[in-house]
């Protein structure tokens, strides 16, 4: 086969050239993604330097005093707000999401499965501002008029519970979709093998399917958590946005993303404010990264069942 004339290297066949250039391209793409992450981290670190140089990092992270006009930039309430609303969302969302995904995939007929899947796809695609609005018109009044009174508590309804509820509804389809994908990846023959031994559906799900799906389900929950940590719009609309550590689920919270979205661009000329918001973004990014790296390490070291192949 004659070499195309544009090949610049002598003695390099077209195939080899393509191979090398493809490899270089992938390498550049991979480096580029890392470069973006790295540059965001560096940029946030530099931009937030004025505030953490003056107030010290532990001082910022552990202080609850948020009073920008007087130089108080304590992040603690915001970090707690993020952690609590994410935790609440996952506790509320993960069990029903996992169970209904298993039901759809392992028990329901094909028709119901297809219908269910389409519905979840739709849910997963709803913009978060819509969830936020929906939270304001339904969840907030529900909490204010029914749930809180049941505990004898007065609340505006803009609180940790509403925030957790709205977030959980948002991440249920995310977790479900991924669990279904994981279940799809388990060969049917394994289910057949177990059923053929006289096992019931439930025994098959419990001993075979769940064992195979366990790492994947963990990843699905993690994806839900990542989504909840960073969610901004819906949270901002129902959380109440009061910078304090809540003493019950009926008190308002102020998660980090809401802080940034609410205030950036309206810092007036308060010194260090801009820098403090950069710092809060850095903290948010660090939380997501630490969580994901931790999960990665956990999955590497944990042993799942006996399957190796």
Partner 1 sequence: MPHVKVNKFNLYFGNDHILKDIDVSIPDKQITVIIGPSGCGKTTLLKSFNRLIDLQDNVKTDGRILIDGEDVFSRNADLCSIRKKMGLLLQKPYPLPMSIYDNVAYGPRIHGLKKGGDLDGLVEHYLKEASLWDEVKGRLHAPAGNLSLGQQQRLCLARGLAVEPEIILADEPTSALDPLSTARIEKTFIKLKKSYTIIAVTHILRQAKRIADYVIFMYYGRVIEHGPASKVLENPEKDVTKEYVNGVIS
Q: CB of 106: closest distance to partner 1 in angstroms?
A: 11
Q: CB of 309: closest distance to partner 1 in angstroms?
A: 4
Q: CB of 209: closest distance to partner 1 in angstroms?
A: 9
Contact status: 47 vs partner 1 (CB under 8 A): no
Question: Measured from the CB atom, is 12 or 199 closer to partner 1?
Answer: 199
Among positions 67-126, residues that touch partner 1 (CB under 8 A) are 109-110
**Given the rule CB under 8 A, which of 137-145, 170-178, 265-273, 299-307 is the region that contacts partner 1?**
299-307
Give the pair of three-digit tokens for residue 114.
């297809």
Q: How many residues bind partner 1 (CB under 8 A)?
A: 27
Rounded CA separation 274/276 (Å): 5
Q: CB of 56: closest distance to partner 1 in angstroms?
A: 50
CB neighbourhood size of 265 (10 A): 8
Q: Locate tokens 């981290």: which residue?
A: 41
Buried b / exposed e over 95-125, threshold 16 CB at 10 Å, is eebbebbbebbbeeeeeebeebbeebeebbe
Rounded CA separation 51/47 (Å): 9
Q: CB of 118: closest distance to partner 1 in angstroms?
A: 17
Cβ neighbours of residue 149 closer than 8 Å, sequence gap 6 or more:
none
Q: CB of 121: closest distance to partner 1 in angstroms?
A: 21
Question: Measured from the CB atom, is 40 or 112 closer to partner 1?
Answer: 112
Cβ neighbours of residue 109 closer than 8 Å, sequence gap 6 or more:
none
Among positions 159-188, residues that touch partner 1 (CB under 8 A) are 187-188
Give the pair of three-digit tokens for residue 34.
């890392």
Q: CB of 115: closest distance to partner 1 in angstroms?
A: 14
Residue of the chain from 149, 185, 294, 305 that contacts partner 1 (CB under 8 A): 305
| Helices (H), ranges, the chain | 14-55, 57-62, 76-102, 110-124, 128-134, 140-142, 148-150, 160-184, 188-196, 201-204, 210-230, 233-238, 256-263, 273-301
Give the pair of three-digit tokens for residue 154.
């007065």
Question: Measured from the CB atom, is 11 or 306 closer to partner 1?
Answer: 306
Q: What is the largest CA-CA distance in the chain?
A: 86
Question: Measured from the CB atom, is 34 or 307 closer to partner 1?
Answer: 307
Among positions 185-224, residues that touch partner 1 (CB under 8 A) are 187-200, 203, 207-208, 211-212
Contact status: 141 vs partner 1 (CB under 8 A): no
User: For binding to partner 1 (CB under 8 A), which residues are involved?
Assistant: 109-110, 187-200, 203, 207-208, 211-212, 304-309
């Amino acid at each position: 086969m004659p070499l195309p004339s544009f090949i610049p290297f002598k003695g390099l066949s077209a195939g080899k050239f393509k191979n090398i250039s493809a490899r270089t391209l992938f390498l550049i793409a991979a480096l580029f993604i890392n470069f973006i992450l790295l540059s965001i981290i560096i940029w946030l670190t530099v931009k937030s330097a004025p505030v953490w140089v003056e107030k010290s990092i532990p001082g910022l992270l552990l202080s609850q005093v948020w009073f920008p006009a007087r130089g108080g930039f304590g992040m603690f309430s915001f970090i707690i707000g993020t952690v609590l609303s994410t935790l609440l969302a996952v506790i509320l969302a993960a069990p029903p999401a996992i169970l209904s995904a298993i039901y759809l995939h392992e028990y329901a007929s094909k028709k119901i499965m297809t219908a269910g899947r389409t519905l979840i796809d739709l849910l997963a695609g709803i913009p978060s501002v819509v969830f936020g609005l929906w939270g304001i018109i339904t969840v907030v009044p529900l909490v204010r008029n029914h749930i809180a009174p049941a505990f004898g508590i007065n609340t505006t309804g803009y609180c940790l519970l509403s925030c957790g509820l709205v977030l959980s509804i948002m991440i249920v389809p995310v977790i479900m979709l991924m669990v279904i994908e994981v279940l799809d990846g388990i060969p049917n023959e394994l289910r057949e093998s177990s059923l053929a031994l006289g096992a019931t559906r439930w025994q098959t799900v419990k001993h075979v399917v769940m064992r195979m799906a366990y790492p994947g389900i963990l990843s699905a929950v993690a994806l839900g958590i990542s989504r909840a940590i960073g969610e901004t719009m819906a949270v901002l609309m129902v959380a109440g946005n009061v910078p304090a550590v809540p003493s019950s689920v009926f008190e308002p919270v102020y998660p980090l993303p809401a802080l940034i979205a609410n205030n950036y661009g309206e810092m007036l000329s308060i010194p260090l404010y801009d820098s403090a918001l950069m710092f809060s973004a850095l903290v948010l990014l660090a939380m997501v990264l630490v969580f994901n790296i931790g999960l990665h390490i956990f999955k590497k070291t944990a042993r799942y069942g006996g399957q190796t192949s």
